[in-house]
A = this chain, B = another copy of it.
Amino acid sequence: MSSQNASLAPHSRSPHPGDSGNICRDCAARLLSICDGQPEAQLDRLAAITTTLSLSPHATFLNEGDPAAHMFNVTSGTVKTYKLMPDGRRQIVGFLMAGDFLGLALNGAYAYSAETVTPVSLCRFPRKQLELLFDEFPTLERKLRERASNELAAAQDLMLLLGRKTARERLATFLLLLSRRLARIGLPANPITLPMSRAEIADYLGLTTETVSRALTQLKQDGIVSLHGNTAVQIEHPDQLLHLAEGD
């Protein structure tokens, strides 16, 4: 049951002659991605193997266990990557935004599934061809290694969260992480606009939607945050939120 994905809508804008630039050189997410700092010549080569896609929300475009034929770069929107247990329990292992790379493979198969949260645009690279480019351009491989290291560090932070933090602390940590992340990609950091649902937050934090809701209400009642609608969260006391997140 791979790719039960009706709304995948490839806008195959492969580079064509007559363009003033190429899709990589003009990429809005370039400075955020592994393409940052790559010389023009390499960008041209990269563009030649790139396909850009636009997906609607809630589209599964990658299934855990499927042969890892492609790698991706998110250029806009939010993607969730997750793992499922046979009985349906779900753990979201990452929310990916502009500049983030995905397509991690283990023995040639994807290690997780991926689904869009919002409308998303991404670049798709054939895995084999991208690996060949790595051989040619070590700076690209360097970028990817650095990226992998950062993700590993983030994963370990999440392990601490999942293994040792209370529901309240998890939510506080999450809000701060998201705030910083949004800032990095140039979106407002303080009235945070949550791209994802409570259920998705819960699956990321190892909780239930009810517990997320209760924890959020509690933060609101403590005056640490305020809510405006379901998706806007204003952090009223960043310092208190930080203390909460770190558990002291």
List chain A positions with a Cβ less than 8 A from chain B: 83, 85-87, 89-91, 93, 104-106, 111-112, 134-135, 138, 141-142, 144-145, 148-153, 155-160, 162-165, 203, 205-206, 246-248
Q: Which residue of B lies closest to A202 (CB)?
A: B163
User: Closest Cβ of chain B: how far from A114's Cβ, in Å?
Assistant: 12
CA distance A246 to B158 in the complex (A): 21
Taken together, the copies of this chain in the complex come to 2
Contact pick for A93, options B87, B104, B105, B159, CB 8 Å: B159
Given A149-B148, A152-B155, A247-B85, decide whether A91 and B163 contact each other with a Cβ distance below 8 A: yes
Q: Which 7 pairs between the two chains have the least Cβ-Cβ distance?
A: A163-B206, A162-B162, A155-B155, A148-B148, A91-B160, A145-B145, A111-B153
A246 to B246, CA, bound (A): 31
Bound CA span A246–B87, Å: 9
Q: Is the CB of B164 within 8 A of A91?
A: yes
- A145 and B155 contacting across the interface, CB-CB below 8 Å: no
Query: Which of B90, B106, B247 is in CB contact (< 8 Å) with A164?
Result: B90
Q: Tell me whether A159 and B162 are in contact in the complex, defined as CB-CB below 8 angstroms, given that A153-B111, A246-B85 are known contacts.
A: yes
**Are A156 and B85 in contact (CB-based, < 8 A)?**
no
**Is A247 in contact with B111, judged by CB distance below 8 angstroms?**
no
**A160–B85 contact, CB under 8 A?**
yes
Q: How far is the CA of A105 from the CA of B134 in the complex (A)?
A: 23
A150 to B142, CA, bound (A): 16
For A90, the closest partner residue in chain B by CB is B164
In the assembled complex, the CB of A13 is this many whole angstroms from the nearest CB of chain B, namely: 29
Give Cα A106–Cα B149 distance, bound, in whole angstroms.
8
What separation, in Å, do the CA atoms of A158 and B152 have in the docked complex?
Answer: 12
In the bound assembly, the distance between CA atoms of A203 and B83 in angstroms comes to 22
Closest B residue to A166 using CB positions: B89
Q: How far is the CB of A206 from chain B (nearest CB, A)?
A: 3
Minimum CB–CB distance for A208 against chain B, Å: 11
Q: Which of B90, B156, B246 is in CB contact (< 8 Å) with A155?
A: B156
